[in-house]
Each structure stands twice: as C-alpha cells, then as structure tokens.
Amino acid sequence: MHKDVERVLISQDKLENIVKSLAKQIEKDYNGRDFIMVGLLKGSIVFMAELMTKVNLDFRIDFMVASSYGGGTESSGKVKIIKDMEVDPRGRDILIVEDIVDSGNTLNFVINHLVSRGAKAVQVCTLCDKPSRRKVPLVPDYCGAEIPDEFIVGYGLDYDEKYRNLPYIGVLKRSVYE
C-alpha cells in the first residue's frame, strides 16, 4: 500500500469483479443498440479501458474532458467542457463512463450538453458513487460501488494529478491534502 493511503477501500480483486459485473449488465442492455462509450477524462481512463475489454459488443468510443475541480478536493460548482466528443452524438445512444459521481454537477452538465447536441439517449456508468454528496437529483444507471464521503485515489482517481496508477482504490490520508 502507498505511504499516503490510509487504507484500501476497494481491492484490485474487488475492482475486477465490479468491472465484470457492470460489463455483463451493459451487454444485456445494449445488445443490438448502436452506442458510443464516452469516457470522462482523466479519471475514467483505467476503468473505461478495463470495462471496454469486457463488453462483448460492437461500439465506438470517444472521450470528453469536463472540469469543476482544478487542483483541490472540492468541486467549484462551475463546469466547463475542455474537450468535447469528436463523434457527433446526434441520434445516438451514449454511455458515459465516469470514475466517480460526487455532487453530480459535472455529470448533469455533460448529460444536458449531450442531449442539447441531439443524443438519442444518455446513460451513466460510474465506478464509484457518493450519493451523500449529491447536489442535483442524479442516479447513475450503472454503479460499481456506493462509497462513503472520503477522499479516494487510485485506479484512475487522483489528487493533484498523483496516485492514478494505484491498482486499487484507497482513502487518501487527510495530512496529504489538508
């Protein structure tokens, strides 16, 4: 375990099981549909890479960057799209792949943005969900794990662009960010 991690919240083995389970659900629901799996960068990169190898369907992928954090641990509440999808979402089913749903502000903004661009349907697959922090009424369609209100890192999740490469999800020691 990394010296800045207080404890492991979701082990590598548990992550593998979560991804397999989500992939099975997505395969069942998206079978026969023309869809685009859209990763929200940078946090979703590891999760999406694993998930897409387990979904045994034909689909396109794309990426977006939307931010409301900057370098801190709290969302600023102001969302901006830094990089939009390259594929036109008009008339298509979109599955957003997200690392964590916290306040829901960023995801809500992205969903509304894709709908305004003509997406046929937009659903959300998140690895982690913190419903206790929700500021908008948003429930992910696919959720790997509901987690407590703690600052987590690893498996793509970061603090100040560090810790993304940890093969598990851990709780970051408060002393690191306070």
Annotated catalytic residue, options 93, 99, 102, 158 = 102
Q: Is 62 a catalytic residue?
A: no
Query: What three-state secondary structure class fits 176?
Result: helix
Q: How far is CA 177 from the centre of its chain?
A: 22
Long-range Cβ contact pairs of 68-73 (< 8 A, separation 24 or more): 68/105, 68/106, 68/109, 71/160, 73/151, 73/159, 73/177
Distances (CA, A) of 139 to 3, 100, 159: 34, 12, 25
Token readout for 6 is: 């207080």
38 exposure class (CB count in 10 Å sphere: 0-12, 13-18, 19+): buried
* Positions marked catalytic: 102
